[in-house]
Amino acid sequence: MKPIEINLEGFRKLREVFEELAVAGKLLSEAMTALKAARDRRPLELRMRAVLRRMWKEQAAALQKDFLPELARYGETVTEALRELTPSQVNLLLAILNTNEKDWAGSLAKILADAFRVGAQRMRTEVEVDISFNLDTTEIRQLIDTTAADLVSNINRTTRDRIRNIISEGIKDSQSYSAIAKRLRDTFEGFGAPSPLRHIRDRAELIAVTEIGNAYMQAQLQQGRRIIQKGIQLQKGWLTVGDDRVEEDCLRNQQAGWIDFDATFPTGHQAPLEHPGCRCSMTTRRKRVA
């Protein structure tokens, strides 16, 4: 009876095929997770961008209606008139940017609340745990309201600083009313100028992508901690979009692979985003025993 010959080369090639399929499956799974996160966030980013653009449009209209006529009263000698104004008087003129600040914060808070909701839901779906996420808890509501108020305040502070610099430079350089007025108008028009980031259209979208992303990830972290409190151990991973525009730090975080949920990534972050406009997302799974 002849011995049975086993084609070891065939088995080796078959093993290589399975290994390649495993890698491809992992990449596909990561891509799908990142895509789902992007789909969750994109409608909210567009809503926030629209709110910010309306806010700046209203401020520009107020500037045109209330501030520029005040300058026009002095004609081309505006710089001499402004030299005599005290800082408090100048700030009073700039206070028009605070118009309806609470209303704008309220509008943004609603969008951030939705970002928290969908972020928590994505976590529940990934880990397959039926734990609700209550937005009405005092802690969550305060976090959302504070984030929205700080966001509007910081945006307006940046805008006021730009206007204050334009006025200061105008006074220093003895510029005319026409020159100062043009620079003030150009400032608001510049908010809609293209962003240097290829995936971001303008300042409003940069802010929206960053703030929605941070809220979405914060909800995932909070939901993950609640799941852990139920006795379920979790791991997390950092996902980039995988193109040539990914930042080096984001790549380092992705290369760290799966880490314990309460651990930090190589850059010291608990979760994305790593930088303004970051397109990364987080993936989570139940901790596996080695």
Domain parsing of the chain, residue ranges:
29-232
Is pLDDT above 70 for 28? no
What is the tens place of the pLDDT at every residue in 51-94? 999 998 888 888 777 777 766 665 555 555 555 555 655 666 66
CA 109 to chain CA centroid, Å, is 14
What is the tens place of the pLDDT at every residue in 186-236? 887 777 666 666 667 788 899 999 999 999 999 999 999 999 998 999 999
CA distance linking residue 222 with residue 36, whole number of Å: 19
Instruction: Work out whether the CA dihedral 180, 181, 182, 184 comes out positive or negative.
Output: positive
pTM comes to 0.80
Query: What is the average pLDDT across 259-277?
Result: 96
Q: Are 61 and 114 in contact (CB under 8 A)?
A: no
Instruction: Tell me which of 10-14, 116-120, 171-175, 284-288 is least confident.
Output: 10-14
Is pLDDT above 80 for 20? no
Instruction: Enumerate the H helices of the chain as residue ranges.
Output: 8-62, 68-72, 78-83, 87-94, 101-127, 138-172, 177-190, 203-229, 248-255
Predicted confidence at residue 171, as pLDDT, reads 72
- What DSSP line would sit under 254-265, residue for residue? HHT-SEETTS--
Predicted confidence at residue 104, as pLDDT, reads 93
